[in-house]
């Protein structure tokens, strides 16, 4: 394979002609494929269908403490659901509050509450001149949308395979009291699929923030979402609440999780794990906000999964569907782009995304070309705050939703777009 950067202008022009031809042929196919969002596929949804049967008109709908799950009440969630989500989150049930169907909503509410009421007695953020969040990049667009929506200034922090650049995080957090939070997807990160190293987690737990109301927003969205069954092929993440406690910073973290990509997206249950002091602070808010979340759905989840072992067994079924998709995309990238020097990509062992780095200034073009050829990808820039990727190079590939035969076509379209955009860039230099 010859690197594109080492090609002569003539070679590049000849290549462009060939690629133009390929691209035109693809467009003529009139494809309509979607690699944009981390949505489970129909096959994945089907493996949870038995959940529809675990509660019936003849089921005893009381939880283990005898409370009727059909009626009002039980703010924190039923004990067996707290235990199950506690196991998934690797924390004691006493550190868990069960919410409704969306952990994103819990994160939104957490920021919203901090704006209007402050964190554990500190000044409400809406009364401050400036509030800032650190944003490891590339990251999750919906996180960035929340902080943007509340007018919070976002500061990019570069990611590495070990996690965010902790030198920068430590410096900024310890110096600037306006920094109130950092968005983290610590395991199988969105979009790179990186898992924070033990050292990174320990450095997080030992932060010395200038702001007493600084919190780590630890979105453990993919805690049990491995692609490989063998433990040696899985990433391991140190438990952050425990580490924060050990470091004398018990209140510094909010940990979010949900069953959205375990059972049914949109009909799962979400949970927050935090210190008792944080949870007590939050309870003052929830008590005013609602009379309680959907306990029948909590019961449904517990009856279906039973315990962590049940969850792991279920996740293996997800992995069996997802793994070939990831491997096919990665093989296509390797086969078509390997050695060309026009892109790099991650090969995660879990989660929902592959992150692709194009030549600088090509991401927007690649995504636009793919779209024109009938393949919708996550908008270029989406993985950065304000949608602004400074190098215009990061593209999030979401292989989960399309059936594998469609995904294969989409991957072929994608590599042609990458090649063409790269050639055009090099020709323009």
Q: List residues binding its own copies (CB under 8 A).
A: 37, 39-40, 42, 45, 48-50, 52-53, 55-57, 59, 61, 68-73, 100-102, 104-105, 108-109, 112, 115-117, 124, 126-127, 142, 145-146, 149-150, 260, 264-267, 285, 288-297
Question: Taking Cα atoms as reference points, which of 93, 16, 5 lies closest to residue 429?
Answer: 5
With respect to its own copies, which residue has the nearer C-beta, 56 or 65?
Answer: 56
* Locus of tokens 């086969």: 335
CB of 63 to its own copies, least distance (A): 12
CB of 329 to its own copies, least distance (A): 21
With respect to its own copies, which residue has the nearer C-beta, 115 or 247?
Answer: 115
CB of 290 to its own copies, least distance (A): 5
How many other C-beta atoms are found inside a 10 Å radius of the C-beta of residue 55? Answer: 17
With respect to its own copies, which residue has the nearer C-beta, 102 or 347?
Answer: 102
CB of 114 to its own copies, least distance (A): 10
| CA distances (Å), origin 109, targets 124, 335, 393 | 14, 45, 32
With respect to its own copies, which residue has the nearer C-beta, 40 or 186?
Answer: 40
CB of 71 to its own copies, least distance (A): 5
Are 285 and 97 within 8 A, CB to CB? no
CB of 351 to its own copies, least distance (A): 16
With respect to its own copies, which residue has the nearer C-beta, 28 or 288?
Answer: 288
CA-CA distance, 235 to 54, in Å (whole number)? Answer: 32
> What is the Cα 256 distance to its own chain's centre?
11
| CA distances (Å), origin 94, targets 41, 49, 80, 82, 279 | 34, 30, 11, 8, 9
With respect to its own copies, which residue has the nearer C-beta, 108 or 228?
Answer: 108
CA-CA distance, 181 to 173, in Å (whole number)? Answer: 9
Question: Taking Cα atoms as reference points, which of 36, 22, 18, 12 lies closest to residue 373?
Answer: 22
With respect to its own copies, which residue has the nearer C-beta, 200 or 400?
Answer: 400
What tokens appear for 385 in the block? Answer: 């705050």
CB of 149 to its own copies, least distance (A): 5
With respect to its own copies, which residue has the nearer C-beta, 100 or 212?
Answer: 100
Are 306 and 86 within 8 A, CB to CB? no
CB of 412 to its own copies, least distance (A): 25
| Residue 245 DSSP SS3 | helix
What tokens appear for 92 in the block? Answer: 């004691």
Looking at residue 93, what DSSP letter applies? G
CA-CA distance, 332 to 72, in Å (whole number)? Answer: 52
With respect to its own copies, which residue has the nearer C-beta, 4 or 125?
Answer: 125
Omega into 191 within 30° of 0, i.e. cis? yes
CB of 219 to its own copies, least distance (A): 14
Residues 6+ apart with CB under 8 A from 388: 381
């Amino acid at each position: 394979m010859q690197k594109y950067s080492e090609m002569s202008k003539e070679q590049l022009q000849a290549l462009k002609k060939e690629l133009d031809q390929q691209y035109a042929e693809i467009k003529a196919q009139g494809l309509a494929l979607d690699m944009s969002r981390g949505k489970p596929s129909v096959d994945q949804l089907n493996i949870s269908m038995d959940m529809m049967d675990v509660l019936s008109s003849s089921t005893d709908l009381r939880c283990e403490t005898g409370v009727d799950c059909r009626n009002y009440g039980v703010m924190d969630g039923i004990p067996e659901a707290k235990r199950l989500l506690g196991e998934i989150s690797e924390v004691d049930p006493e550190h868990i509050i069960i919410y409704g169907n969306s952990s994103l909503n819990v994160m939104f509410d957490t920021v919203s509450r901090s704006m209007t009421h402050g964190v554990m007695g500190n000044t409400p953020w809406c009364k401050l001149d400036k509030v800032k969040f650190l944003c490891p990049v590339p990251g999750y667009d919906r996180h960035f949308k929340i902080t943007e929506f509340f007018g919070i200034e976002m500061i990019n922090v570069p990611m590495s395979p070990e996690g965010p650049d902790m030198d920068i995080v430590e410096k900024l957090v310890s110096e600037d009291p306006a920094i109130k939070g950092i968005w983290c997807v610590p395991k199988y990160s969105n979009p790179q699929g990186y898992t924070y190293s033990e050292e990174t987690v320990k450095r997080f737990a030992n932060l010395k923030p200038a702001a007493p109301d600084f919190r780590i927003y630890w979105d453990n969205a993919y805690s049990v979402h491995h692609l490989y069954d063998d433990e040696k092929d899985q990433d391991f993440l140190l438990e952050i609440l425990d580490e924060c406690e050990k470091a004398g910073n018990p209140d510094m973290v909010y940990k979010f999780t949900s069953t959205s990509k375990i059972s049914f997206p949109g009909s799962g249950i979400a949970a927050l794990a935090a210190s008792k002091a944080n949870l007590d602070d939050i309870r003052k808010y929830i008590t005013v906000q609602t009379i309680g979340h959907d306990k029948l759905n909590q019961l449904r989840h517990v009856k279906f999964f039973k315990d962590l072992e049940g969850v792991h067994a279920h996740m293996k079924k997800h992995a069996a569907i997802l793994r070939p998709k990831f491997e096919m995309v990665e093989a296509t990238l390797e086969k078509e782009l390997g050695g060309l020097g026009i892109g790099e990509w991650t090969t995660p062992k879990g989660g929902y995304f592959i992150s692709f780095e194009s030549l600088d200034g090509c991401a927007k073009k690649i995504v636009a070309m793919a779209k024109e050829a009938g393949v919708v990808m996550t908008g270029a820039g989406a993985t950065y705050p304000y949608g602004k990727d400074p190098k215009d190079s990061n593209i999030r590939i979401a292989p989960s939703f399309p059936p594998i035969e469609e995904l294969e076509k989409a991957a072929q379209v994608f590599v042609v777009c990458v090649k063409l955009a790269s050639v055009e860039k090099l020709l323009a230099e």
